[in-house]
Amino acid sequence: MEKCFSPMPPLILTDKQIFFEDDCACADSPRLLASPKNIFFENDCACADTEFAATDRAKGNQLYKKVEDAYVADLPQGFQLAFSPYAPQGPSALNATAWERWQSFAAQQPLAQEIDFLLADQNLIVPAGITPRLKPIEPETLTVWLHVTNACNLDCPYCYVRKSSASMSDETGLDAVERIFQTALKRQFKDVKLKYAGGEASLHFRLIQKLSARAQELSAKYGISLQQVVLSNGTHIGAEDVAWMRSNQARMMISLDGVGEVQDRMRPYRSGKGSFEAVRKTVDEVLLPQGFQPMFTVTITQQNAGGVSDAVRWVLERDLPVSLNFYRHKPNSALDLAAEENALIEGMLAAYKVYEEILPSRPFLNGLLDRVQAGAHLHTCGAGSSYLVITHEGFLAQCQMQMENPVSHVLSNDLISQVQAGPLNVLSVEQKDACSACAYRYRCAGGCPLETHRASGRWNAPSPNCRIYRTLLPFALRLEGLRLLKAHRYLH
């Protein structure tokens, strides 16, 4: 008598991504119009941290087809990676049965099985005759870079801050916080995120605490939630600072550009002494013993491209999140530390090998490549819509790289209308003709607009990092596929 074997049920693995802090502003979250029903994306810091509606089960006989230009790749254990250009988040991992069902939509057909709705949710299949597109919505989080000081104990060669002893006064800072919440109230933002920055913000922790106290009062008064992040070089953090951050639910992002000699060369003290050992002590002897987990960001230049993998390994071995970001040219500077393309790509691929070796369980796709987000989005950054900078003098700028060219010396109760009048033009990727046919256009959204304009003299040009993005994104997507398999215990 023949034995009957039931086929493996179809399985799609996917996940929401988490947001990694960095020096920049993130963009809006869009609505995806892949069908007559909008798919809504929630986000953190106006970034694509996506919550999206399931595909409508009451579609009747509407026909669907397999999406064009999907990226696919082999994964272990018989799985296949599949990534739609219109995916609400990152890629999906499909087992053989799900893959076979997806292939069947090469011929138009209605949704008939439960797996069909999951494929539609990931926009691996889309309604026939309808071109998927993104439509911007109003962001929910107002993010503000509060530049509390120009002072810093380090002397990093690529820093765009003109160092001095000048710092924000209590009066200026408290007025700024008031204006921020008035703007959030007027513009109906649900959240305010304050990034305390410098210079080295931790040199003025008392001021941070004072501004935070007022922000918490206004948050409670207006019913607007508050997020707080301290941007730091990690050399000046004490146990009392950590206790305050924990009790006030503030996060910390630490800049780390290498391990040992690389960090010492890239981020020396003003005396010339290296800073790596100070950062290590802060992390291993102050933060982690108190259960406080910082985020890390690595800025890649020609001087540390070959050491990025070591920095990534150092952070991941401590089970901490890290994001990889490219050097941006310092305004009005003849110094150019940008890494040569091939050297940068080689350094990034070496770092990706470390990710694959360690393979963290938490989602990390958003931190793998400069300005790239897993969630579909139209704009690279939120400048002009949900992001602004207030200098230590109380001046208003569109971006922290433009602090020396503020758009206003006076703060109003509608800071967004003021920054919208500035010169920085953050175009939608849909307005960049060279990007229209790229399968990754809704991930990089055209790259940093300031870098694009500096390199080309045009706002609507493709990013000068375009080839880097197109080369590295397949590797980044594959890493997410491997992480999905590990998270669901298909990979050990």
- Class of CATH domain 141-362: alpha beta
CA-CA distances (angstroms) from residue 439 to 70, 354, 355, 378, 392? 7, 26, 24, 13, 41
Contact 137, 31 (CB under 8 A): yes
Q: What are the φ/ψ torsions at residue 57 (nearest 5 degrees)?
A: -75, -10
324: closest CA among 473, 441, 147?
A: 473
Measured from the Cβ of residue 255, the count of other Cβ atoms closer than 10 Å reads 24
Q: Where are the alpha helices (DSSP H) in 269-331?
A: 276-281, 308-316
How far is 48 from 381, CA to CA, in rounded Å?
11
Q: Strands 250-255, 295-300: parallel, antiparallel or unpaired by DSSP?
A: parallel
Report CA dihedral (437, 440, 443, 448) to the nearest 10 degrees: -70
Determine the 3-state secondary structure of 297 from DSSP: strand
Q: Strands 80-83, 109-110: parallel, antiparallel or unpaired by DSSP?
A: unpaired
Residue-wise pLDDT tens for the chain (492 aa)? Answer: 444 444 679 999 998 776 666 667 666 444 333 332 322 222 233 343 333 344 554 555 799 999 999 999 999 999 999 999 999 989 999 999 999 999 999 999 999 999 999 999 999 999 999 888 777 778 999 999 999 999 999 998 888 788 888 999 999 999 999 999 999 999 999 999 999 999 999 999 999 999 999 999 999 999 999 999 999 999 999 999 999 999 999 999 999 999 999 999 999 999 999 999 999 999 999 999 999 999 999 999 999 999 999 999 999 999 999 999 998 877 766 667 788 999 999 999 999 999 999 999 999 999 999 989 998 989 999 999 999 999 999 999 999 999 999 999 999 999 999 999 999 999 999 999 899 889 999 999 999 999 999 999 999 999 999 999 999 999 999 999 999 999 999 997
All structural domains of the chain with their residue ranges: 16-136, 141-362
pTM greater than 0.85 (yes/no): yes
So what's the pLDDT on residue 54?
Answer: 43
